[in-house]
Amino acid sequence: MLKSTYTHVLGLKLSPALQKSKLKKEEEAKMENLPPGYRPNVGVCLINSDNLVFVASRLNVPGAWQMPQGGIEDGEDPKSAAMRELQEETGVVSAAIIAEVPNWLTYDFPPAVKAKVNRLWGGEWHGQAQKWFLVRLIKDEDEREINLANNEADSEFAEWKWARPEEVVEQAVDYKRPTYEQVIKTFGSYLNDPGRAAKCKSAKW
């Protein structure tokens, strides 16, 4: 009898090694579908046991709150990038990915922002193409891990809070708001059903 660690796909049984190879190819295919002219990026919708969403206020944009996000490094897959960015921006490591937006979401930079970030990144980007992930804290106590500075000298954020999904959209900077609306809508079945999100909390990244 084959061990239960083998995965069934279309009636076939894949060994753990083949399963890992298949997942790697799937991640590579996602990167190949990037919209041209947009910087590859990930976003993280981090929730707690009350299905409230983590947001932080930017130091350089007073009054604007956002979810964690950041660029994908060369050779990095989106899931790994999401968990790295989460740790870098919030200090959180005890968390699990429970869902993702299946397609890339894009937003364009306003002219002033575009000029600034392209000087910083050394590119000619229209905006950013993002893969979004819904991530849950393993335990409520794990919010003690949250540290916006996280030993970084150039922290991006001033403060953080847990917000209702509708607040996340309302308090976002205007050019990111349509993307946030789509993210919250896609993850709505989890955000509106505490039981469903709670079942997906066993994995530690």
**16 or 59: which leads in pLDDT:** 59
Percent of the chain with pLDDT strictly greater than 90? 54
**11 or 80: which leads in pLDDT:** 80
Query: In 69-193, which ranges are continuous DSSP H helix?
Result: 78-90, 111-121, 165-170, 177-186, 188-191
Query: What angle, rounded to 10 degrees, do the helices at 78-90 and 16-32 form?
Result: 80
Q: What's the mean per-residue pLDDT of the chain?
A: 82
Instruction: Label residue 59 by pLDDT band (50, 70, 90).
Output: confident
Lowest mean pLDDT among 77-91, 166-180, 181-195: 181-195
Q: Where are the beta strands (DSSP E) in the chain?
A: 7-9, 12-14, 38-47, 53-58, 65-66, 69-71, 95-100, 105-108, 127-137, 157-163
Alpha carbon distance 162, 55 (integer Å): 6
Domains and CATH numbers, the chain: 1-32 (no CATH), 35-198 (3.90.79.10)
Which is it for the CA torsion 79, 84, 85, 90, positive or negative?
positive
Alpha carbon distance 203, 185 (integer Å): 24
Give residue 16's identity as a one-letter amino acid code.
P
Alpha carbon distance 133, 125 (integer Å): 23
Instruction: Label residue 189 by pLDDT band (50, 70, 90).
Output: very high
Contact status, residue 187 vs residue 51, Cβ threshold 8 Å: no
Instruction: Label residue 198 by pLDDT band (50, 70, 90).
Output: low
Instruction: Label residue 63 by pLDDT band (50, 70, 90).
Output: confident
Contact status, residue 47 vs residue 135, Cβ threshold 8 Å: yes
Cα separations in angstroms, 153 against 43, 150, 156, 160: 22, 9, 10, 18
Task: Evaluate if residue 3 carries a pLDDT over 50.
Answer: no
Q: What integer pLDDT is reported at residue 120 of this predicted model?
A: 84
**Which of 105, 59, 99 has its CA nearest to residue 188?**
99
Task: Evaluate if residue 201 carries a pLDDT over 50.
Answer: no
Alpha carbon distance 99, 122 (integer Å): 32
